[in-house]
A = this chain, B = another copy of it.
Amino acid sequence: MSDSQNHKALAPRRHDEILRRLAADGSVGITELAAFFDVSRETIRRDMKFLAERGQLDLVHGGATLFEATEPALTLRSQENAGGKASIGRAAAALVEDGMVVFLDSGTTTLAVAHALTGKQNLTICTTSLTIALHMCRQPHVRVHMLGGEIDPSEEAAVGIDALDAISRFRIDVAFLGAGALSPDGEITDFTRNGAEQRSRMAATAARAYFVLDSSKFGRLTPLRIQRFELAAGIIVDAPPPAAMVEALERKGPKVIVGE
């Protein structure tokens, strides 16, 4: 406020401060900012409109919030594209026979696989996901092994060195793994170092490994390549990916299985 009458570029100053407050608090109010800058509310509204058009914030009644502020909670994510996930689940379940040892990765798509496994007899389930463990241990004729470790709150699953360590003790018949994306050149990639490492090991360890990917993940780019993903038996999807991706992937090894 000491810099009052510098008439040059007042608007950018306000824009900066608005974005700064937004980053700090998650939301800002119009009246509050108008008082702070000692300008009319219309002016702040025009500032916000300008910033909103550039995608830097979301307008809401009374102010603005961070653009794409919060990742939806896990319970909500599982409801997105529920139909597609269910079809992936059914296709995955068809690959499982009574008595097998099955690894289920964390993620909402693998949770759909878990649901689709209802009715199989005598399975042994191995998982890092708290939600999957809880669900499967309530099923009859299923033995569940929870791989321990530090819990990642955003996944509600075990990650880290303990989980990596535990994986190597098991002999897995079939593994269903999540992933961050199927890249345009037919590689399977992930968001985090730990996740990529864990999935890499499973792909190499399990007798057969499948990545489950819903169609929202086609062509996206995430930072980490999952090493040795080409050892996987296939990927299971809810809709056919672009032909170029299919060709690039299958040339490396994994087959594409389209649910339903």
In whole angstroms, how far apart are the Cα atoms of A145 and B148 in the complex?
7
Flag A9-24 by CB within 8 Å of B: 1 or 0 each. 1111100100110010
Interface class of chain A by DSSP: mixed
In whole angstroms, how far apart are the Cα atoms of A250 and B27 in the complex?
47
Which are the 10 A-B pairs with shortest beta-carbon distances? A148-B148, A144-B151, A137-B151, A137-B153, A130-B134, A23-B73, A147-B148, A13-B27, A146-B148, A12-B60
Given contacts A13-B65, A73-B23, A76-B56, contact A145 B137 (CB under 8 A): no
In whole angstroms, how far apart are the Cα atoms of A66 and B91 in the complex?
29
For A231, list chain B residues within 8 Å (CB): none
Flag A23-41 by CB within 8 Å of B: 1 or 0 each. 1011101001000000000
Task: Determine if A166 is an interface residue (Cβ-Cβ < 8 Å).
Answer: yes
Copies of this chain, whole number: 2
- The contact of A26 among B3, B26, B55, B69, by CB within 8 Å, is B3
Task: Determine if A84 is an interface residue (Cβ-Cβ < 8 Å).
Answer: no
B3, A25: Cβ atoms closer than 8 Å: yes
Smallest Cβ distance from A215 to chain B, in angstroms?
Answer: 21
Write the chain B residue with the least CB distance to A57: B75
Cβ contacts A to B, 24 pairs, < 8 Å: A7-B29, A9-B27, A10-B27, A10-B60, A13-B26, A16-B69, A20-B73, A56-B76, A67-B75, A69-B78, A73-B134, A130-B130, A130-B133, A130-B146, A131-B134, A137-B152, A143-B150, A144-B150, A144-B153, A145-B149, A145-B150, A145-B151, A146-B146, A146-B151
